Amino acid sequence: MERVALSSETDFAGWRAAARDLLARQVRPETVEWTAGAELGGIFAEDRGEVVASARAGEATRLTVPRAFIELASTAILHSDPQRFALLYRMLWRLRDERALLSVAVDPDVARANAMAKAVRNDMHKMRAFVRFREIDASGPMYIAWFEPSHHVVEAIAPFFARRFANRRWSILTPEASVHWDGAHLEMAPGAARADAPDDDQLEALWRTYYASIFNPARLKIEAMRSEMPKKYWRNLPEAELIAPLIASARQRTQQMIDDAASVPRPPRRVQRYAAQANGPSRIDPLTPGASLADVRAAAAHCRDCPLWKPATQTVFGEGAADARVMLVGEQAGDQEDLVGRPFVGPAGKLLDRALAAAGIERSALYVTNAVKHFKFEPRGKRRIHKKPADAEIEACYRWLEREMALVKPALIVALGATAARALTGHAMAVGANRGRITDLPDGTKLMITVHPSYLLRVHTEDQEAEYERFVADLALVAEYLATFRVAASPSRPPQPTRADEPPRWNRNP
Protein backbone atom coordinates (compact mmCIF):
# COMPACT_ATOMS: atom_id res chain seq x y z
CA MET A 1 0.00 0.00 0.00
CA GLU A 2 1.39 3.40 -1.03
CA ARG A 3 0.79 6.24 1.45
CA VAL A 4 0.79 9.87 0.27
CA ALA A 5 0.68 12.70 2.82
CA LEU A 6 -0.19 16.17 1.51
CA SER A 7 0.78 19.30 3.42
CA SER A 8 -2.78 20.69 3.59
CA GLU A 9 -6.36 20.03 2.56
CA THR A 10 -5.86 22.31 -0.46
CA ASP A 11 -2.39 21.14 -1.50
CA PHE A 12 -3.10 20.79 -5.21
CA ALA A 13 0.54 21.20 -6.20
CA GLY A 14 1.53 18.40 -3.81
CA TRP A 15 -1.25 16.15 -5.09
CA ARG A 16 -0.25 16.76 -8.72
CA ALA A 17 3.43 16.03 -8.06
CA ALA A 18 2.62 12.86 -6.13
CA ALA A 19 0.13 11.73 -8.78
CA ARG A 20 2.75 12.14 -11.52
CA ASP A 21 5.22 10.08 -9.54
CA LEU A 22 2.68 7.33 -8.80
CA LEU A 23 1.61 7.21 -12.42
CA ALA A 24 5.18 7.02 -13.63
CA ARG A 25 5.72 4.03 -11.34
CA GLN A 26 2.49 2.39 -12.51
CA VAL A 27 0.96 2.45 -9.01
CA ARG A 28 -2.69 1.47 -9.31
CA PRO A 29 -5.28 3.81 -7.68
CA GLU A 30 -6.69 1.16 -5.36
CA THR A 31 -3.27 0.69 -3.75
CA VAL A 32 -2.82 4.36 -2.74
CA GLU A 33 -3.88 5.90 0.56
CA TRP A 34 -4.09 9.70 0.71
CA THR A 35 -3.91 11.88 3.82
CA ALA A 36 -3.74 15.64 4.29
CA GLY A 37 -3.37 18.37 6.87
CA ALA A 38 -4.38 17.32 10.37
CA GLU A 39 -4.10 13.63 9.46
CA LEU A 40 -0.31 13.80 9.02
CA GLY A 41 0.53 12.69 12.54
CA GLY A 42 0.57 9.17 13.96
CA ILE A 43 1.80 6.19 12.01
CA PHE A 44 2.21 8.18 8.77
CA ALA A 45 4.52 10.83 10.21
CA GLU A 46 7.60 8.76 9.48
CA ASP A 47 6.58 8.41 5.82
CA ARG A 48 6.20 12.11 5.10
CA GLY A 49 9.82 12.81 4.14
CA GLU A 50 9.91 9.84 1.84
CA VAL A 51 6.69 10.81 0.11
CA VAL A 52 7.73 14.42 -0.43
CA ALA A 53 11.07 13.34 -1.84
CA SER A 54 9.34 10.85 -4.13
CA ALA A 55 6.97 13.58 -5.33
CA ARG A 56 9.88 15.94 -5.99
CA ALA A 57 11.59 13.27 -8.06
CA GLY A 58 8.38 12.76 -10.00
CA GLU A 59 8.45 16.37 -11.22
CA ALA A 60 10.62 15.16 -14.10
CA THR A 61 7.80 12.91 -15.33
CA ARG A 62 5.97 14.38 -18.31
CA LEU A 63 2.26 13.61 -18.59
CA THR A 64 -0.12 15.27 -20.99
CA VAL A 65 -3.72 15.57 -19.81
CA PRO A 66 -6.60 17.74 -21.04
CA ARG A 67 -6.60 21.28 -19.67
CA ALA A 68 -10.22 20.70 -18.62
CA PHE A 69 -9.04 18.02 -16.19
CA ILE A 70 -6.55 20.39 -14.55
CA GLU A 71 -9.28 22.99 -14.12
CA LEU A 72 -11.71 20.39 -12.77
CA ALA A 73 -9.18 18.88 -10.38
CA SER A 74 -7.95 22.24 -9.03
CA THR A 75 -11.54 23.11 -8.09
CA ALA A 76 -12.79 19.71 -6.91
CA ILE A 77 -9.78 19.31 -4.62
CA LEU A 78 -11.22 22.12 -2.47
CA HIS A 79 -14.20 19.92 -1.62
CA SER A 80 -14.51 18.57 1.91
CA ASP A 81 -14.93 14.93 0.84
CA PRO A 82 -11.82 13.03 2.11
CA GLN A 83 -12.02 10.71 -0.92
CA ARG A 84 -11.46 13.50 -3.44
CA PHE A 85 -7.71 12.85 -3.78
CA ALA A 86 -8.30 9.19 -4.57
CA LEU A 87 -11.11 10.03 -7.00
CA LEU A 88 -8.96 12.49 -8.95
CA TYR A 89 -6.01 10.09 -9.13
CA ARG A 90 -8.33 7.34 -10.37
CA MET A 91 -9.57 9.65 -13.13
CA LEU A 92 -5.98 10.55 -14.01
CA TRP A 93 -5.13 6.85 -14.24
CA ARG A 94 -8.08 6.25 -16.56
CA LEU A 95 -7.26 9.23 -18.80
CA ARG A 96 -4.19 7.42 -20.11
CA ASP A 97 -6.41 5.03 -22.04
CA GLU A 98 -9.75 6.89 -22.05
CA ARG A 99 -8.86 10.22 -23.62
CA ALA A 100 -12.51 11.24 -23.99
CA LEU A 101 -13.40 10.37 -20.41
CA LEU A 102 -14.35 13.91 -19.40
CA SER A 103 -16.95 14.11 -22.16
CA VAL A 104 -18.87 11.16 -20.67
CA ALA A 105 -21.02 13.11 -18.21
CA VAL A 106 -22.81 9.98 -16.94
CA ASP A 107 -19.59 8.24 -15.95
CA PRO A 108 -19.75 7.86 -12.12
CA ASP A 109 -16.26 9.32 -11.54
CA VAL A 110 -16.82 12.24 -13.92
CA ALA A 111 -20.28 12.98 -12.50
CA ARG A 112 -18.95 12.89 -8.94
CA ALA A 113 -16.00 15.17 -9.72
CA ASN A 114 -18.25 17.65 -11.54
CA ALA A 115 -20.66 17.65 -8.61
CA MET A 116 -17.77 18.37 -6.25
CA ALA A 117 -16.54 21.26 -8.40
CA LYS A 118 -20.05 22.68 -8.61
CA ALA A 119 -20.46 22.49 -4.83
CA VAL A 120 -17.14 24.31 -4.37
CA ARG A 121 -18.11 27.07 -6.79
CA ASN A 122 -21.46 27.43 -5.06
CA ASP A 123 -19.73 27.68 -1.68
CA MET A 124 -17.44 30.41 -3.02
CA HIS A 125 -20.47 32.27 -4.36
CA LYS A 126 -22.19 32.03 -0.98
CA MET A 127 -19.10 33.35 0.74
CA ARG A 128 -18.94 36.34 -1.59
CA ALA A 129 -22.65 37.01 -0.99
CA PHE A 130 -23.02 36.40 2.74
CA VAL A 131 -19.79 37.51 4.42
CA ARG A 132 -20.69 40.46 6.69
CA PHE A 133 -17.90 42.60 8.13
CA ARG A 134 -18.24 44.29 11.52
CA GLU A 135 -16.11 47.26 12.44
CA ILE A 136 -13.91 47.24 15.52
CA ASP A 137 -11.53 49.86 16.86
CA ALA A 138 -8.03 48.45 16.74
CA SER A 139 -5.64 51.39 16.28
CA GLY A 140 -7.73 52.55 13.36
CA PRO A 141 -10.68 51.04 11.46
CA MET A 142 -10.57 47.25 11.34
CA TYR A 143 -13.26 44.93 10.01
CA ILE A 144 -13.88 41.36 11.15
CA ALA A 145 -16.19 38.79 9.56
CA TRP A 146 -17.20 35.30 10.64
CA PHE A 147 -18.17 32.67 8.10
CA GLU A 148 -18.65 28.90 8.07
CA PRO A 149 -17.92 27.53 4.60
CA SER A 150 -18.83 23.98 3.74
CA HIS A 151 -15.60 23.35 1.83
CA HIS A 152 -11.94 24.44 1.83
CA VAL A 153 -12.49 27.67 -0.11
CA VAL A 154 -11.06 30.37 2.16
CA GLU A 155 -7.61 30.62 0.59
CA ALA A 156 -9.05 30.47 -2.95
CA ILE A 157 -11.60 33.23 -2.34
CA ALA A 158 -9.31 35.52 -0.33
CA PRO A 159 -7.95 37.43 -3.39
CA PHE A 160 -11.51 38.46 -4.29
CA PHE A 161 -11.95 40.20 -0.95
CA ALA A 162 -8.49 41.76 -1.24
CA ARG A 163 -9.53 43.34 -4.54
CA ARG A 164 -12.99 44.26 -3.30
CA PHE A 165 -11.83 45.89 -0.06
CA ALA A 166 -8.30 46.89 -1.00
CA ASN A 167 -8.26 50.10 1.02
CA ARG A 168 -9.39 48.60 4.34
CA ARG A 169 -7.86 46.32 6.92
CA TRP A 170 -9.94 43.22 7.49
CA SER A 171 -9.96 39.59 8.63
CA ILE A 172 -12.26 36.73 7.75
CA LEU A 173 -12.44 34.07 10.46
CA THR A 174 -13.67 30.53 9.81
CA PRO A 175 -13.45 27.33 11.88
CA GLU A 176 -10.76 25.85 9.63
CA ALA A 177 -8.65 28.81 8.49
CA SER A 178 -8.52 32.59 8.69
CA VAL A 179 -7.28 35.22 6.28
CA HIS A 180 -5.97 38.71 7.11
CA TRP A 181 -5.45 41.74 4.85
CA ASP A 182 -3.37 44.69 6.04
CA GLY A 183 -3.97 46.81 2.96
CA ALA A 184 -1.02 45.35 1.05
CA HIS A 185 -0.59 41.64 1.84
CA LEU A 186 -2.78 38.60 2.38
CA GLU A 187 -1.85 36.27 5.22
CA MET A 188 -3.37 32.88 5.99
CA ALA A 189 -3.74 31.85 9.64
CA PRO A 190 -5.27 29.00 11.66
CA GLY A 191 -8.99 28.77 12.23
CA ALA A 192 -10.84 30.66 14.95
CA ALA A 193 -13.93 30.41 17.13
CA ARG A 194 -17.21 32.25 16.65
CA ALA A 195 -16.56 34.15 19.88
CA ASP A 196 -13.48 35.75 18.30
CA ALA A 197 -15.68 37.77 15.91
CA PRO A 198 -17.84 40.74 16.99
CA ASP A 199 -21.62 40.34 17.05
CA ASP A 200 -22.68 43.85 16.05
CA ASP A 201 -21.51 47.31 15.09
CA GLN A 202 -23.00 50.78 14.79
CA LEU A 203 -24.02 50.38 11.14
CA GLU A 204 -26.12 47.24 11.51
CA ALA A 205 -29.23 49.04 12.80
CA LEU A 206 -29.10 51.26 9.70
CA TRP A 207 -28.63 48.22 7.46
CA ARG A 208 -31.64 46.45 9.02
CA THR A 209 -33.79 49.55 8.46
CA TYR A 210 -32.71 49.67 4.82
CA TYR A 211 -33.32 45.94 4.30
CA ALA A 212 -36.83 46.19 5.73
CA SER A 213 -37.63 49.20 3.54
CA ILE A 214 -36.64 47.50 0.26
CA PHE A 215 -38.40 44.21 1.05
CA ASN A 216 -41.17 43.75 -1.54
CA PRO A 217 -43.88 41.40 -0.18
CA ALA A 218 -45.54 41.12 -3.58
CA ARG A 219 -42.43 39.44 -5.02
CA LEU A 220 -41.79 37.07 -2.14
CA LYS A 221 -40.80 33.56 -3.26
CA ILE A 222 -39.87 31.68 -0.12
CA GLU A 223 -38.47 28.55 -1.76
CA ALA A 224 -36.31 30.56 -4.15
CA MET A 225 -35.06 32.68 -1.24
CA ARG A 226 -34.15 29.64 0.83
CA SER A 227 -32.41 28.11 -2.16
CA GLU A 228 -30.31 31.23 -2.71
CA MET A 229 -29.81 32.02 0.99
CA PRO A 230 -29.86 28.74 2.98
CA LYS A 231 -30.81 29.03 6.65
CA LYS A 232 -27.33 27.92 7.76
CA TYR A 233 -26.11 31.43 6.84
CA TRP A 234 -28.89 33.33 8.58
CA ARG A 235 -27.31 33.41 12.01
CA ASN A 236 -24.37 35.40 10.64
CA LEU A 237 -26.49 37.99 8.82
CA PRO A 238 -27.68 41.13 10.64
CA GLU A 239 -30.92 41.14 8.63
CA ALA A 240 -31.71 37.53 9.60
CA GLU A 241 -33.86 38.56 12.57
CA LEU A 242 -36.16 40.43 10.17
CA ILE A 243 -36.74 37.58 7.72
CA ALA A 244 -39.34 35.62 9.69
CA PRO A 245 -41.58 38.60 10.60
CA LEU A 246 -41.30 40.02 7.06
CA ILE A 247 -42.40 36.68 5.60
CA ALA A 248 -45.23 36.40 8.11
CA SER A 249 -46.58 39.85 7.23
CA ALA A 250 -46.06 39.55 3.46
CA ARG A 251 -49.62 38.52 2.57
CA GLN A 252 -51.18 41.30 4.64
CA ARG A 253 -48.81 43.92 3.21
CA THR A 254 -49.47 42.73 -0.35
CA GLN A 255 -53.23 43.05 0.15
CA GLN A 256 -52.71 46.52 1.58
CA MET A 257 -50.77 47.50 -1.55
CA ILE A 258 -53.70 46.28 -3.69
CA ASP A 259 -56.29 48.11 -1.58
CA ASP A 260 -54.44 51.42 -1.54
CA ALA A 261 -55.51 53.77 -4.32
CA ALA A 262 -52.91 54.31 -6.99
CA SER A 263 -51.22 57.66 -6.78
CA VAL A 264 -51.25 59.99 -9.78
CA PRO A 265 -47.72 60.01 -11.21
CA ARG A 266 -45.99 63.35 -11.14
CA PRO A 267 -44.19 64.61 -14.23
CA PRO A 268 -40.42 64.16 -14.17
CA ARG A 269 -38.66 66.93 -12.29
CA ARG A 270 -37.00 68.11 -15.46
CA VAL A 271 -40.40 68.65 -17.07
CA GLN A 272 -41.61 70.60 -14.05
CA ARG A 273 -38.46 72.73 -14.15
CA TYR A 274 -38.79 73.46 -17.85
CA ALA A 275 -42.48 74.33 -17.44
CA ALA A 276 -41.71 76.64 -14.53
CA GLN A 277 -39.29 78.58 -16.72
CA ALA A 278 -41.83 79.04 -19.51
CA ASN A 279 -43.20 82.49 -20.16
CA GLY A 280 -45.00 84.66 -22.68
CA PRO A 281 -47.15 83.20 -25.44
CA SER A 282 -45.98 79.65 -24.66
CA ARG A 283 -48.29 79.68 -21.64
CA ILE A 284 -51.38 79.96 -23.84
CA ASP A 285 -53.38 76.93 -22.79
CA PRO A 286 -53.69 74.72 -25.88
CA LEU A 287 -56.65 72.95 -24.26
CA THR A 288 -58.82 76.09 -24.17
CA PRO A 289 -62.31 75.19 -25.45
CA GLY A 290 -62.93 76.50 -28.95
CA ALA A 291 -59.25 76.66 -29.91
CA SER A 292 -58.55 75.58 -33.47
CA LEU A 293 -55.53 73.82 -34.92
CA ALA A 294 -54.32 77.21 -36.13
CA ASP A 295 -54.55 78.56 -32.57
CA VAL A 296 -52.62 75.62 -31.16
CA ARG A 297 -50.00 75.88 -33.93
CA ALA A 298 -49.49 79.55 -33.09
CA ALA A 299 -49.12 78.80 -29.38
CA ALA A 300 -46.69 75.94 -30.02
CA ALA A 301 -44.47 78.28 -32.03
CA HIS A 302 -43.55 80.02 -28.76
CA CYS A 303 -43.15 76.87 -26.62
CA ARG A 304 -40.33 77.04 -24.06
CA ASP A 305 -41.25 73.96 -22.03
CA CYS A 306 -37.95 72.21 -22.79
CA PRO A 307 -34.57 73.51 -23.96
CA LEU A 308 -34.83 72.13 -27.51
CA TRP A 309 -36.24 75.45 -28.77
CA LYS A 310 -32.93 77.24 -28.22
CA PRO A 311 -30.79 75.66 -31.00
CA ALA A 312 -33.75 74.82 -33.27
CA THR A 313 -34.76 77.07 -36.16
CA GLN A 314 -38.48 76.82 -35.48
CA THR A 315 -41.30 74.67 -34.14
CA VAL A 316 -42.42 72.02 -36.63
CA PHE A 317 -46.12 71.47 -36.08
CA GLY A 318 -48.34 68.87 -37.71
CA GLU A 319 -50.20 69.30 -40.98
CA GLY A 320 -52.85 67.59 -43.05
CA ALA A 321 -56.60 67.06 -43.10
CA ALA A 322 -58.20 68.57 -39.99
CA ASP A 323 -60.76 65.74 -39.94
CA ALA A 324 -58.40 62.93 -40.96
CA ARG A 325 -59.43 59.43 -39.92
CA VAL A 326 -55.77 58.43 -39.65
CA MET A 327 -52.95 60.31 -37.95
CA LEU A 328 -49.27 59.44 -38.47
CA VAL A 329 -46.99 60.32 -35.54
CA GLY A 330 -43.22 60.29 -36.02
CA GLU A 331 -40.38 60.96 -33.60
CA GLN A 332 -39.25 64.54 -34.16
CA ALA A 333 -38.42 67.03 -36.87
CA GLY A 334 -35.26 66.40 -38.87
CA ASP A 335 -32.72 68.77 -40.35
CA GLN A 336 -34.75 69.74 -43.43
CA GLU A 337 -38.02 69.80 -41.48
CA ASP A 338 -36.43 72.26 -39.04
CA LEU A 339 -35.43 74.56 -41.90
CA VAL A 340 -38.71 74.34 -43.84
CA GLY A 341 -41.08 74.16 -40.87
CA ARG A 342 -43.10 71.17 -42.14
CA PRO A 343 -43.07 67.51 -41.02
CA PHE A 344 -41.68 64.69 -43.17
CA VAL A 345 -40.17 66.68 -46.05
CA GLY A 346 -36.62 65.29 -45.83
CA PRO A 347 -35.25 61.92 -47.03
CA ALA A 348 -37.42 59.97 -44.58
CA GLY A 349 -40.46 61.97 -45.67
CA LYS A 350 -39.83 61.23 -49.34
CA LEU A 351 -39.54 57.53 -48.53
CA LEU A 352 -42.78 57.75 -46.56
CA ASP A 353 -44.55 59.36 -49.53
CA ARG A 354 -43.33 56.59 -51.82
CA ALA A 355 -44.50 53.88 -49.41
CA LEU A 356 -47.90 55.55 -48.94
CA ALA A 357 -48.35 55.63 -52.71
CA ALA A 358 -47.40 51.95 -52.97
CA ALA A 359 -50.02 51.14 -50.33
CA GLY A 360 -52.66 53.17 -52.13
CA ILE A 361 -52.91 56.01 -49.60
CA GLU A 362 -53.04 59.70 -50.42
CA ARG A 363 -51.01 61.70 -47.93
CA SER A 364 -53.51 64.55 -48.18
CA ALA A 365 -56.08 62.29 -46.50
CA LEU A 366 -53.88 61.95 -43.40
CA TYR A 367 -52.75 64.18 -40.58
CA VAL A 368 -48.97 63.93 -40.13
CA THR A 369 -47.10 65.15 -37.07
CA ASN A 370 -44.30 64.31 -34.61
CA ALA A 371 -44.14 63.50 -30.91
CA VAL A 372 -41.47 66.21 -30.43
CA LYS A 373 -41.89 69.48 -32.27
CA HIS A 374 -38.27 70.69 -32.31
CA PHE A 375 -35.18 69.22 -33.96
CA LYS A 376 -32.71 67.77 -31.44
CA PHE A 377 -29.26 67.50 -32.92
CA GLU A 378 -25.53 67.45 -32.27
CA PRO A 379 -23.34 69.80 -34.35
CA ARG A 380 -20.61 67.98 -36.24
CA GLY A 381 -18.69 70.32 -38.49
CA LYS A 382 -21.22 71.88 -40.86
CA ARG A 383 -23.68 69.02 -40.31
CA ARG A 384 -26.39 68.63 -37.68
CA ILE A 385 -26.63 65.00 -36.54
CA HIS A 386 -29.96 63.75 -35.20
CA LYS A 387 -30.10 62.86 -31.49
CA LYS A 388 -32.90 60.84 -29.89
CA PRO A 389 -35.12 62.97 -27.64
CA ALA A 390 -35.08 62.29 -23.91
CA ASP A 391 -38.16 61.16 -21.98
CA ALA A 392 -38.45 64.60 -20.34
CA GLU A 393 -38.55 66.26 -23.76
CA ILE A 394 -41.19 63.81 -24.97
CA GLU A 395 -43.28 64.53 -21.87
CA ALA A 396 -42.87 68.29 -22.24
CA CYS A 397 -44.10 68.17 -25.84
CA TYR A 398 -46.99 65.79 -25.23
CA ARG A 399 -49.50 68.56 -24.53
CA TRP A 400 -49.22 69.72 -28.16
CA LEU A 401 -49.65 66.19 -29.51
CA GLU A 402 -52.55 65.64 -27.14
CA ARG A 403 -54.32 68.74 -28.45
CA GLU A 404 -53.74 67.70 -32.05
CA MET A 405 -55.39 64.35 -31.32
CA ALA A 406 -58.29 66.06 -29.53
CA LEU A 407 -58.96 68.42 -32.46
CA VAL A 408 -58.40 66.02 -35.36
CA LYS A 409 -60.15 63.12 -33.62
CA PRO A 410 -58.51 60.34 -35.69
CA ALA A 411 -59.96 56.87 -35.44
CA LEU A 412 -56.54 55.28 -36.01
CA ILE A 413 -53.12 56.60 -34.98
CA VAL A 414 -50.01 55.06 -36.53
CA ALA A 415 -46.91 55.37 -34.35
CA LEU A 416 -43.82 55.50 -36.55
CA GLY A 417 -41.05 54.18 -34.33
CA ALA A 418 -40.39 53.66 -30.62
CA THR A 419 -40.38 57.34 -29.61
CA ALA A 420 -43.85 57.91 -31.02
CA ALA A 421 -45.11 54.74 -29.32
CA ARG A 422 -43.56 55.91 -26.04
CA ALA A 423 -45.30 59.29 -26.31
CA LEU A 424 -48.69 57.79 -27.14
CA THR A 425 -48.74 54.97 -24.57
CA GLY A 426 -46.70 56.56 -21.78
CA HIS A 427 -44.22 53.69 -21.63
CA ALA A 428 -41.59 51.96 -23.72
CA MET A 429 -42.90 49.73 -26.50
CA ALA A 430 -40.78 47.30 -28.51
CA VAL A 431 -41.53 48.01 -32.16
CA GLY A 432 -40.56 44.53 -33.37
CA ALA A 433 -42.83 42.74 -30.91
CA ASN A 434 -45.84 45.01 -31.49
CA ARG A 435 -45.49 45.88 -35.16
CA GLY A 436 -48.68 45.67 -37.20
CA ARG A 437 -50.93 45.08 -34.17
CA ILE A 438 -54.10 47.12 -33.76
CA THR A 439 -54.64 48.00 -30.10
CA ASP A 440 -56.73 50.51 -28.16
CA LEU A 441 -55.59 53.67 -26.44
CA PRO A 442 -57.41 54.61 -23.20
CA ASP A 443 -59.82 56.93 -25.06
CA GLY A 444 -60.80 54.17 -27.50
CA THR A 445 -58.68 55.41 -30.40
CA LYS A 446 -57.03 52.60 -32.34
CA LEU A 447 -53.23 52.44 -32.34
CA MET A 448 -50.89 50.66 -34.72
CA ILE A 449 -47.10 50.62 -34.37
CA THR A 450 -44.62 50.27 -37.22
CA VAL A 451 -41.09 51.41 -37.98
CA HIS A 452 -40.06 54.99 -38.70
CA PRO A 453 -39.16 55.46 -42.39
CA SER A 454 -35.69 56.68 -41.34
CA TYR A 455 -35.06 53.11 -40.14
CA LEU A 456 -35.29 51.96 -43.75
CA LEU A 457 -32.53 54.40 -44.67
CA ARG A 458 -30.20 52.91 -42.05
CA VAL A 459 -30.56 49.16 -42.66
CA HIS A 460 -28.01 47.26 -44.71
CA THR A 461 -28.39 47.67 -48.45
CA GLU A 462 -29.16 43.99 -48.99
CA ASP A 463 -32.05 44.23 -46.48
CA GLN A 464 -33.56 47.53 -47.64
CA GLU A 465 -35.89 46.09 -50.25
CA ALA A 466 -37.34 43.47 -47.89
CA GLU A 467 -37.76 46.00 -45.07
CA TYR A 468 -39.41 48.46 -47.42
CA GLU A 469 -41.90 45.80 -48.51
CA ARG A 470 -42.71 45.06 -44.85
CA PHE A 471 -43.31 48.76 -44.26
CA VAL A 472 -45.62 48.98 -47.27
CA ALA A 473 -47.48 45.91 -45.97
CA ASP A 474 -48.04 47.70 -42.64
CA LEU A 475 -49.36 50.76 -44.48
CA ALA A 476 -51.62 48.48 -46.54
CA LEU A 477 -53.44 47.68 -43.29
CA VAL A 478 -53.98 51.40 -42.86
CA ALA A 479 -55.34 51.58 -46.42
CA GLU A 480 -57.85 48.84 -45.64
CA TYR A 481 -58.88 50.75 -42.55
CA LEU A 482 -59.44 53.93 -44.54
CA ALA A 483 -61.44 51.95 -47.09
CA THR A 484 -63.97 50.95 -44.42
CA PHE A 485 -64.79 54.62 -43.86
CA ARG A 486 -65.08 55.37 -47.56
CA VAL A 487 -67.51 52.46 -47.96
CA ALA A 488 -69.53 53.58 -44.94
CA ALA A 489 -69.73 57.16 -46.31
CA SER A 490 -70.89 56.09 -49.82
CA PRO A 491 -74.74 56.17 -50.14
CA SER A 492 -74.65 54.51 -53.55
CA ARG A 493 -72.97 51.32 -52.34
CA PRO A 494 -74.96 48.87 -50.25
CA PRO A 495 -73.35 47.46 -47.09
CA GLN A 496 -71.13 44.48 -47.84
CA PRO A 497 -71.80 41.31 -45.85
CA THR A 498 -68.95 40.18 -43.59
CA ARG A 499 -68.42 36.91 -41.83
CA ALA A 500 -68.59 37.16 -38.05
CA ASP A 501 -65.52 34.98 -37.73
CA GLU A 502 -63.46 37.00 -40.22
CA PRO A 503 -62.89 40.63 -39.15
CA PRO A 504 -61.19 43.08 -41.52
CA ARG A 505 -57.50 42.38 -41.92
CA TRP A 506 -56.56 45.67 -40.23
CA ASN A 507 -58.30 44.50 -37.05
CA ARG A 508 -56.50 41.17 -36.75
CA ASN A 509 -53.75 40.84 -34.23
CA PRO A 510 -50.94 38.60 -35.50
**In contact, 431 and 471? CB cutoff 8 Å:** no
- 117 and 89 housed in the same domain: yes
Indicate whether 91 and 166 sit together in one domain. Answer: no
Please state at what angle helix 391-408 crosses helix 293-300, rounded to 10 degrees: 160
Residue 434 falls within a domain, yes or no?
yes
Same domain, 451 and 468: yes
Task: Tell me: do 209 and 189 sit in the same domain.
Answer: no
52 part of a folded domain: yes
Q: What is the mean pLDDT of residues 379-401?
A: 90
- Residue 484, C-beta contacts closer than 8 angstroms, at least 6 positions apart: 504, 506
Q: Is residue 165 part of a domain?
A: yes
Clarify whether residues 388 and 466 are in a common domain.
yes
> Domain ends where: 196, 219, 247?
196
For 376-487, strand residue ranges (E) read: 377-380, 383-386, 412-416, 438-440, 446-450
Distance from C-alpha of 510 to C-alpha of 489, rounded to nearest angstrom? 29
CA 161 centroid distance within chain:
25
Q: pLDDT-based confidence at 493, cuts 50/70/90?
A: very low
Q: Is residue 250 part of a domain?
A: yes
Poorest-confidence range of 28-37, 282-291, 403-412? 282-291
What are the pLDDT digits (tens) for 399-438?
999 999 999 999 999 999 999 999 999 888 889 888 988 8
Residues with Cβ < 8 Å from 265, sequence gap 6 or more?
none
Tell me the per-residue pLDDT of 292-345, one tens digit each, with 9 for 90 and over. Answer: 899 899 999 999 889 999 999 999 999 999 999 999 999 999 999 999 999 999
What is the reported pLDDT for 275?
A: 45
The answer on 137 and 84 residing in a single domain is no
Q: Which among 65, 92, 125 is the end of a domain?
A: 125
Q: What is the mean pLDDT of the chain?
A: 81
Mean pLDDT of 176-202: 86
Burial class (CB in 10 A: 0-12, 13-18, 19+), 305: buried
Residue 93 sits in the same domain as residue 9? yes
Cross-strand pairs, 385: 378
Domain presence at residue 9 = yes
Residue 225's pLDDT is 63
* Residue 325 belongs to a domain: yes
226 and 367 share a domain? Answer: no
Out of 98-107, 133-142, 279-288, 434-443, least confident range: 279-288
Q: End of a domain among 65, 98, 125? A: 125
Cα dihedral value 124, 126, 132, 138, nearest 10: -20
- 477 exposure class (CB count in 10 Å sphere: 0-12, 13-18, 19+): buried
Q: How far apart are CA 332 and CA 344, in angstroms?
A: 9
Q: Is 497 among the domain residues?
A: no
Q: Are residues 365 and 427 in the same domain?
A: yes
Note whether 218 and 83 are same-domain residues: no
Residues 120 and 80 in one domain: yes
Look at the pTM and tell me if it is higher than 0.75: no
CA distance 366 to 324: 5
Shared-domain flag, residues 390 and 467:
yes
Number of separate domains in the chain: 4
**Does the residue 451 lie in any domain?**
yes
* Maximal CA-CA distance, the chain: 113
Domain that holds residue 33: 2-125
Give the separation between CA 32 and CA 26, rounded to whole angstroms.
Answer: 11
